Amino acid sequence: MNSLPARDQLRQRVEYTYKFNAKTGRHGWLRLTPAYSLKIVEELVIGQANAQRVLDPFCGTGTTALCAAYHDHEGVTTDINPFLVWLAQAKAAHYSPTSIETTRGACTQALTLVADRAIEPVSAPPIFNIERWWSAEALEFLCLLRAAIEHVTQPDTEIRNLLLVAFCRTLIEQSNAAFNHQSMSFKGEDNQALLFPIDRGAAFEADVQFVLSGAAENPAGSASVILADSRGLRKALSGPFDLVITSPPYANRMSYIRELRPYMYWLGFLQNGRDAGELDWTAIGGTWGIATSRLTDWERPEKHFKSAHLTDALQAIAHSENKNGVLLAKYVAKYFDDMWAHFCELPELLASGAELHYIVGNSTFYGTLVSTERLYAEMLSELGFSQVECRPIRKRNSKKALIEFDVVARWK
């Protein structure tokens, strides 16, 4: 049984954004940036001091672009998820001492409105089974706080963004969600954290302080964060880039929309489950909600990347004993078609000699190993990249042969 005070338990569950933790050295947040990946990205960026422009086509929480900016490069990053683009933009912004002081004042004003109940709360977001996420008391506090933040700030301002980043931290800290697996689950009813009373206002204030202490440390370089599909990068960006460091979605059926839904609903990036599924369908590797039925109807186009390893794997998955084998074979086929469409965008955007690092893990489906790293390597070689290598980084799972690789290549 865990005997830590609630506050510490909550802290254990919260993960921090890169920008906002520069002082403490703690990292990770939203489960998209595990500790090891920040370390790897940092080593790669430091090792490439001459690279001026660094691209990450799969931004997530913005680790690569932020890391590049803190090491005085120009970071450019894209993502298809508007919430992550907003978050990474908020992390990448340069904040003046005046903005930081004004945010501190706005926090005090907002908390006064909440304490006095002098504001009409917003409606609770339409999250399915919301009562599993937050106690009635927590929900009431969050609805009041959300309304108060809107009341004391103007739309699309740094002040509102900083308070909303802190609000994201608070809403997850005060939830019943647990992050001890790859994806979110709910705490058991016997969890000790539920037994300790929480001063909710003080918790938000602490989150604002935490966010502001990081916001005060502006990166030396710049980072731009762009809403774009990595399969259509040439429309959104202009090169040349000297270095690409990224962690693309894995072929593992993890849905970033599913993982991020509490933040996305509270901040208004999602209105209903259908939108969530639609957005997941546009994301590479998404299979949540409507995305699954879309996949059922999806037919592989005649023109796709040809690989004997992929063909063998797809056949083995489709013919496995499992009733979902055919669907999962489609999932894997679509994943690699999408990644091929993405890789085809790169040559026009890269400087001669540009180095690529794709941090990715392999997968298994009903006992069939899908060597994602090998398929990436095949695709990059086919496009004319040289020095293509798959460097193992770490084991992902002690029982299975699941390994993470850095797939490295050089453009001409």
Residues at the contact surface with ligand SAM, assessed by CB under 6 A: 32-33, 58, 60-61, 63, 78-81, 84, 229-231, 247-249, 256, 283-284
Nearer Cβ to ligand SAM (18/365):
18
Nearest distance from C-beta of residue 231 to ligand SAM, angstroms = 5
Nearer Cβ to ligand SAM (53/146):
53
Structure tokens at 131: 């009562």
Nearer Cβ to ligand SAM (201/286):
286
Give me the DSSP letters along 252-277: S---HHHHHHHHHHHTTS--SHHHHH
Q: What is the residue whose two structure tokens read 């001091």?
A: 49
Beta bridge partners of 394: 404
Nearest distance from C-beta of residue 51 to ligand SAM, angstroms = 17
Q: Are 409 and 380 in contact (CB under 8 A)?
A: yes
Nearest distance from C-beta of residue 284 to ligand SAM, angstroms = 4
Nearest distance from C-beta of residue 102 to ligand SAM, angstroms = 29
Structure tokens at 214: 């990081």
Q: Are 113 and 206 in contact (CB under 8 A)?
A: no
* Angle, alpha carbons 266-208-148 (nearest 5°): 50
Measure Cα distances from 280 to 8, 49, 283 in Å.
33, 36, 5
Measure Cα distances from 276 to 126, 165, 230, 290 in Å.
12, 21, 19, 8
Nearer Cβ to ligand SAM (141/250):
250
Instruction: Name the DSSP letter for residue 245.
Output: E
Residue closest to ligand SAM (Cβ): 60
Q: In a 3-state reduction of DSSP, which class is residue 71?
A: coil
Nearest distance from C-beta of residue 131 to ligand SAM, angstroms = 28
Nearest distance from C-beta of residue 186 to ligand SAM, angstroms = 23
Say how far apart CA 266 and CA 134 lie, in whole Å: 12
Nearer Cβ to ligand SAM (143/407):
407
Instruction: Report the side by side order of strands in the sheet with 350-361.
Output: 222-227, 74-79, 53-56, 241-246, 350-361, 403-411, 385-395
* Residue 75 CB-density burial (10 A; 0-12 exposed, 13-18 middle, 19+ buried): buried
**Bond before 240 cis per omega within 30 degrees:** yes
Nearer Cβ to ligand SAM (121/273):
273
Nearer Cβ to ligand SAM (181/323):
181
Nearer Cβ to ligand SAM (201/289):
289
Nearest distance from C-beta of residue 300 to ligand SAM, angstroms = 18
Nearest distance from C-beta of residue 360 to ligand SAM, angstroms = 9
Q: Which amino acid is at 337?
A: D
